[in-house]
C-alpha cells in the first residue's frame, strides 16, 4: 500500500469555471501511471465518496498522455457565492492525499 501523498508527482484542485471543481493526480513515469491505473482505485466512485457527490456527477478522465487522472465535480457552492470557502478551488485536494493505492512493488525507474 502507498498513500497518494507519497507516490504522486502532483495532486491539485482548481475551478473549471465557477460551477465546477477539477481535481488532478499526476505521476512521474508511465510505469507508475499504469501501476495506479491497474489497481482501479482512482475512479469516479472514489471521488464521489470523498467529495460527497453522486458518481454520475463525476466526470472522470484517465489521461495517459499527461500520466494523470482527472476528476471534475459540481461545486456545492458556486465560486464566490455566499458561504463559499475557496474562490479559486485550489485547496480541495487534501482528501485524496491519504488515499491508499494497493501496489505491491512501486516502479521507481
Partner 1 sequence: MSNGTALCRMLSTSGILGYGFPEASLDLGMTRGVHMLGVDGGSTDPGPHYLGSGKTLNSHRAMRRDLRLMLRAARRHGVPMVIGTCGGAGGTRIWPPPPTSCGRWPPRTGSDFRMATIEAEQDVASLKRAHADGRMARLPGGPAPDPAALDRSARVVAMMGPEPIAAALDGGAEVVLAGRSSDPAPWAAMAMRAGLPPAPAWYAGKMLECGATPAVPKGHDCLVVEVGPDGVTLEPAAPERRCTPSSVANHSLHENPSPCIHIEPGGILDTTECRFDAISDRAVRVSGMTWSPQPYTVKLEGAELAGYRAISVCGTRDPLLIATLDDFLARVRDAVATKAAALGVEPDGYRLIIRRYGVDGVMGASEPRRDARPHEVGFVIEVVAPDQDSADAVLALARVTMLHTDFPGRLCREGNMAFPYSPSDVACGPVYRFSVFQTMTVDDPLAPFPIHYEDV
End-to-end CA distance of the chain: 18
> Does the footprint of partner 1 cover residue 88 (CB under 8 A)?
yes
Measured torsion, CA atoms of residues 8, 13, 14, 17, in degrees rounded to the nearest 10: 110
**One residue of 5, 6, 45, 63 binding partner 1 per CB under 8 A:** 63
Contact 11, 4 (CB under 8 A): yes
Task: Report the nearest approach of partner 1 to the CB of residue 108 (Å).
Answer: 17
**One residue of 78, 99, 103, 107 binding partner 1 per CB under 8 A:** 78
Task: State the number of binding residues for partner 1 (CB under 8 A).
Answer: 42
CA 44 – CA 42 distance, rounded (Å): 7
From 31-39, 40-48, 76-84, 99-107, give the range in contact with partner 1 by CB under 8 A: 76-84
CA 88 – CA 79 distance, rounded (Å): 7
> Does the footprint of partner 1 cover residue 68 (CB under 8 A)?
yes
Of 4-43, binders to partner 1 (CB under 8 A) are 10, 14-20, 22, 24, 26
User: Which among 41, 36, 40 is positioned nearest to 64, based on CA atoms?
Assistant: 36
Q: Return the number of other C-beta atoms located less than 10 Å from residue 98's C-beta.
A: 11
Residues contributing to the site for partner 1 (CB under 8 A): 10, 14-20, 22, 24, 26, 50-52, 59, 61, 63, 65-68, 70, 72, 74-88, 91-92, 94-95
Amino acid at each position: 500500500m502507498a498513500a497518494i501523498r507519497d507516490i504522486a508527482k502532483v495532486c491539485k484542485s482548481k475551478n473549471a469555471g465557477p460551477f465546477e471543481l477539477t481535481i488532478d493526480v499526476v505521476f512521474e513515469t508511465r510505469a507508475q501511471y499504469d501501476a495506479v491505473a491497474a489497481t482501479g482505485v482512482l475512479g469516479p466512485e472514489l471521488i464521489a465518496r470523498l467529495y460527497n457527490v453522486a458518481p454520475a456527477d463525476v466526470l472522470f478522465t484517465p489521461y495517459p498522455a499527461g500520466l494523470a487522472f482527472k476528476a471534475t465535480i459540481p461545486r456545492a457552492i458556486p465560486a464566490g457565492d455566499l458561504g463559499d470557502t475557496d474562490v479559486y478551488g485550489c485547496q480541495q485536494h487534501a482528501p485524496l492525499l491519504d488515499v491508499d493505492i494497493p501496489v505491491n512493488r512501486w516502479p521507481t525507474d
